[in-house]
Structure 1
Amino acid sequence: MNNIPRPAYDDYIALQNLANNKGVGSYPSLQSFVTCIQQGYRQYEALQGNASHITSVVTSPVVEKHLKAHFRKPPQDLKHITELREESEYLVCPMCGSLHGGTLDHLLPKSKYGGFAIYSLNLVPACKCNNRRGELVIGTNADERILHPYFDHCLSERLIEAHFEDLGPVPKVGLRLCIDDTHPEYVAIEFHFRSIVKKTAVQRYLKDRWADICRKPSLVVRSLKNNPQTRNDLKQILEEELDMLDDIHRGKNNWNSIFIAGLLDRPVLQWLFNQLYMPGRLPGGPLV
């Protein structure tokens, strides 16, 4: 989960050029729908990508079929789609925080919002979490909606952390929100968290990271090659690690940051410090 810069492309000119291109399959049928599609683009941006309020653009089945085909195999007029794919495939997924984006996909699904199939502000880098949600964009209650990486600035805040209980070699590992229900976007954040993030492999990833830190703490936090002198020193080491991970991954809700944020929970921090000084343990050795 992350708030990322919007693509800097002129979709209006691109659409007009595409409609006038006699060498593509959408010519001439697209020409009759350029104005209404552009009006849809204006609506989308004015509503800040809010899925609760955006209405689909009415075109024709033939035009929608062509637009979807152009997304799969962009012609020269839509070369920016190819650029977006190539530029984002290695980045953290802004939809769930996994460490691999992998592809370019639609926020509002093209099956229901075919008029936005080639609109750059509807195309977000994402991993397979976006496919898993299918056509889900809003919930049954007011304000329940999928967050938009280009428009929802709350995604730049720390929203999620790991939650560890029954501490030991194999603890209970979960996720929890770092915000409460007074946050102005709480309902949307909780819906996105429940509908996308919790359905990924993030909890399995966190379990693996816990196993790593128990086996050899410096595998996860290099500064733990040597024991911190006090619990406050340990806290400072983890806070510095968290800041570094946020910076590296350009956001606070990537899976590595989620893990370290969970270690800063007071009971977990105390457990880690106790285990670092477990009788008979050598610096750099296992915690359990």
Structure 2
Amino acid sequence: MTTSVPAEATDEQVRRRELASFLRSRRERISPEQAGLPLTGRRRTPGLRREEVAHLAGMGVTWYTWLEQGRDIKVSEQVLAAIASTLRLDPHERAHLYTLAGHPAPPMDRDSAAIPAAVLVMVRQLEPIPAAVINARFDLLAGNRTYERLVGGVDHLPFEDRNWLLLMFTSPRWRASVLDWEDAAARLVARFRSGMADHATESGWKGLVRRLRQESPEFERLWEQHDVRGPENFTKRFLHPEAGLLTLDYTQLSVGERSAIKLVTYTPVDEETWAKVRLLGERGPQ
């Protein structure tokens, strides 16, 4: 959506009006349910209202309204980060928002550009062993064919939804496939909380916690327990809709001493699981 501007408009006016149009278009695609808000009767316009975005972003309604009106105001990077999180912008949309607002584009939140090419080759060559690449926030950055068939449907998700915590607490399919879900969910939240100690002020981490607390009472309960755990390798059990029970040894390997990126693998523990995993690797997309 682009707002028309007179030919005599200055570059600054064009930028502000593009910012206004961009914010409106992103706001209108987010439903109240997605934002964790209760339905309050019929709405005249799609998506969130301005006052709802302002409330969720922790800013004044007037200030946000002025942004959508293309007023000549300045906003801080902290405010932009809050808006980007509320509107669930992906890294490219976030960069566009910052540029239109007159700020340098922030670095990509998700380390995807930092995956060494050799690691991606390893992930592919590990077939038929399911393998993936994650970062400290448990964003899924890459995975091989068998991993995609193990978890199912991840490749079709929006970039911002490819996160293990979101899948664990908001995806019915993911939940149904993870046996021992209570233990697995508690373990994952405790590991995430431990990692957040180094990222407590970062908007991407705070935005993920806010979204999970809004969308999942179970996450809220576990988060309030303040449990922490370190990295660990253990055995996981999956109930695949076609292959049945799979028992796999989960192993994580750090890509580098200072890197937050990890290569994770799921190695079958018995011959029955090996046979099923090989079949998964041979099948077409689900």
Larger Rg: 1
TM-score, with structure 2 as normaliser: 0.27
TM normalised by structure 1 equals 0.27
Of Structure 1 and Structure 2, which has the larger fraction of its residues in strand?
2
